Structure 1
């Protein structure tokens, strides 16, 4: 046997984890850029802004002062208290700091939530389309993600009726995202309350991914935490706070789950980055929040430019996104194969968009996702290129 080609068996669950096509397109784009092509990337959901100056300064101070050791698995007290105060100020909700657990990004929070709540064979309901990694977190713990086709008539989101219709003997809960990746749409407060009620009636859990909640444009912001202390909420410093590479997030859990999640965090992660945690406290200073709110308005301007521009190009945008920095557009009037269309647009127009393939089978062939987390100048140039491409 050649030791460089081991033949030991791999875990069966790997067969249920699909490649992330967003990243595959990014690799193709990088190859074209290496050849000298100018590529406008509207594929990856990463803000073109970076951490606010007070946050960078706080990180530098933490390093200079030597605050680099492990922290407790649930995070430093000052950051948990700052998040608690933010919930009170922005959402009018009293969330005890003891219920807030600091994590290595929202991905770690989702992993901890699924490790705590998903047993082997457990079924978790989520909408199709939805962020692909969410269903893979369920699969990683030998659960089953049940994708429910969710069209524009319900804002591409799960509904109370979906929960009542699709809840089966193996269903244990729901995993929602509001605002959503890939659609940029939120679940209305009254509908979310009905969903939570239907899940409670069945003794299930509700996990709500709110990592884009800070980027809500049209209505007064609200958190699912306003609906009760039995809901698990996930959030992150990556999107609104522009700290993608810092790998810092948090989760809010019912008090009775804190010790269980802490036990898992101790074993799986030890703690989130200590430097990122000390820097994260500075996100909630008045100076930083003023910067983030100004950047939010810039995202709104970009949305208000790109949505009508897409419609003029021949895309259908059946639901105007009210949050995040995505547009989910129907390309069926331009192509019968969204995957092929995005590859052609990349090679011929130098514009990266993402096919619906990643986000579930229901919209795979007819929809593309556009991220407007790039400059307005880039968006305008992309529209010029796409006009020529479709010309």
Structure 2
């Protein structure tokens, strides 16, 4: 028999939506760094947004107990009732908000939450407005549901966030809603509460939806955080146990949705995911114990200390930090004035920093299309001593 010798991919017909999803350069650069480490190089990682803290002991103990008790079967598609009640209590204690536990949908991470929200709300060719820069997967969730992400250039003057005026100016008959993040990845900036209220009002006027990613909300440094849920029951919010609660690989998050949307989310959850990890859910109950929350608060303060070190350090190296981040663990820095031949070319600059200084940062091309070559994203979710060493290495590279 004569078999064709064509590449395997030639026989595969991919869905058109795949073409709208670019590679995740953060992860590609991480793979390159890992290859250098395997070759014996010492690399300081400030690329991936993952806390260096892991789940605290009470959470680990709760997971161990759940394993021993054998409570690892499927849960309700909306999540454990006890966990939904604990999350509701957290909103009450932290934000003074009375959120009905029935509105809370426990998900397999914030990624699953966003995918469920987009599946429920975005139809073919619907436009969804979001800022440029923004977390790349947000636009890909929209594209994966056959919608059209519309990225609006949002620079330092807008704190790298959308404004109500921009939403109004860019709303078209095809626009269905907005997808925001506060605090934001990659910039670490939050939307001012008054501005967020204006955005929600504009969206309501047009009969659209507002989704707000609040996964970094617990990591706020300069003011008490305000949840978009305070603006009305029609706002959809996304949250996660990954960042503030330091449970990245546990893949656990949640949505808060309007009451009328709960049945739809349950149907979608049943069919697309069955449920979030039962073990992770039982472990997460320990996150809300007073002793555990005290641990998280001390870690939040440590992230704030790192921010207060790295922002002036970057400026001393020649980077511009046009907006000081008020949350998350990122700095979005302008590269155009550093003393390096690749200044203003973030892709080339980050490769030089990796290969010549052993420091991983991320170029702006992951996060949008408006001047991505000017910016790099730094994650300070690594040990303070590592940040100090990275600054020394980059100082040598730049001759500072």
Range into which the TM-score falls when normalised by the shorter chain: over 0.9
Hey, what's the Cα distance between the residues in 2 that align with 1:33 and 1:363?
A: 31
Q: Which residue of 1 aligns with 2:279?
A: 275
Give the TM-score of the pair, scaled to structure 2.
0.97
Report how far residue 221 of structure 1 moved: 1.4
> Is residue 2:236 matched to residue 1:235?
no
Per the TM alignment, residue 222 of structure 1 is displaced from its structure 2 partner at its CA by: 1.0
Using the TM superposition, give the Cα deviation of residue 5 of structure 1 relative to its aligned residue in structure 2, in angstroms: 1.8
Q: Deviations over 1:167-221 (max 9, x none)?
A: 0010000000000000000001000000000000000000000000000000111
Deviation for aligned residue 1:327: 0.2
The equivalences for 1:196-215 within 5 A come to: 196-215=200-219
Q: Deviations over 1:306-343 (max 9, x none)?
A: 00000000000000000000000000112021110000
Work out the CA distance in 2 between the residues paired with 1:199 and 1:151: 21
Q: What are the Cα deviations for residues 255-299 of structure 1, in whole angstroms up to 9, with x where unaligned?
A: 100000110000000000000000011000001000000000000
Given candidates 376, 382, 398, the residue that maps to 1:390 is 398
Cα deviation per residue 1:45-102 (whole Å; 9 max; x = unaligned)? 0000000100000000000000010000000000000000000000010000000000
Runs of 4+ in 1 over 3 A off after TM superposition: 1-4
Instruction: Indicate if the aligned counterparts of 2:118 and 2:145 stay in contact, CA closer than 8 A.
Output: yes
Determine if contact 1:105/1:236 at 8 Å carries over to the other structure. yes
8 Å CA contact 1:128–1:363 kept in 2: the answer is no
| Pair 1:156-2:157 in alignment | no
Partner of 2:228: 224
Query: Are 1:341 and 2:349 matched, yes or no?
Result: yes
Q: 2:311 aligns with which of 307, 312, 324?
A: 307
The answer on whether the counterparts of 1:22 and 1:358 sit within 8 Å (CA) in structure 2 is yes
Distance in 2, Cα, partners of 1:222 & 1:87: 10
- In structure 1, what is the Cα distance between the partners aligned to 2:12 and 2:393? 49
- Tell me which residue corresponds to 2:187: 183
Query: Separation in 2 of the partners of 1:297 and 1:262?
Result: 37
Kept after mapping to 2: 8 A contact 1:119/1:142:
yes
Tell whether the 8 Å contact from 2:344 to 2:375 is kept in structure 1 after alignment: no
1:3 CA displacement: 8.9
Q: Aligned equivalents of 1:264 and 1:352: distance in 2?
A: 38
What residue is the counterpart of 1:109 in the other structure?
113
Aligned position for 2:20: 16
CA distance in 2: counterparts of 1:9 and 1:355, whole angstroms: 32
Aligned residue pair count: 391
Cα distance between partner residues in 1 of 2:73 and 2:84: 18
Contact 2:185–2:328, Cα closer than 8 Å, also in 1? yes
Q: Give the 3-state SS of the residue equivalent to 2:120 in structure 1.
A: helix
Aligned mates of 1:86, 1:259 — CA distance in 2: 23
What residue number does 1:119 align with? 123
The 2-side partners of 1:363 and 1:103 are apart by: 34
Alignment of 1:26-175 (within 5 A): 26-175=30-179
Cα RMSD of the aligned pairs, angstroms, is 0.9
Secondary structure of 1:19's counterpart equals coil
Structure 1 residue aligned with 2:377: 369
Q: C-alpha distance in 2, partners of 1:218/1:126?
A: 24
Which of 277, 285, 288 is 1:284 aligned to? 288
CA distance in 1, matches of 2:12, 2:83: 44
Query: Does 2:266 match 1:258?
Result: no
1:353-391 residue CA offsets vs partner (Å, 9 max, x unmatched)? 000000001131100000000000000000000000001
- TM-score normalised to the size of structure 1? 0.99
Q: Secondary structure at the match of 1:125?
A: strand
CA distances 1:214-255 after superposition (whole Å, capped 9, x unpaired): 000001111000000000000000000000000000000001
Indicate if the aligned counterparts of 1:213 and 1:324 stay in contact, CA closer than 8 A: yes
Aligned partner of 1:358 in structure 2 is 366
User: Post-superposition shift, 1:8?
Assistant: 3.2
Compute the displacement of 1:137 (Å): 0.1
Q: Give the whole-Å Cα distance in 2 for the aligned partners of 1:100 and 1:52.
A: 24
Determine the C-alpha separation between the residues in 2 that align with 1:288 and 1:8: 49
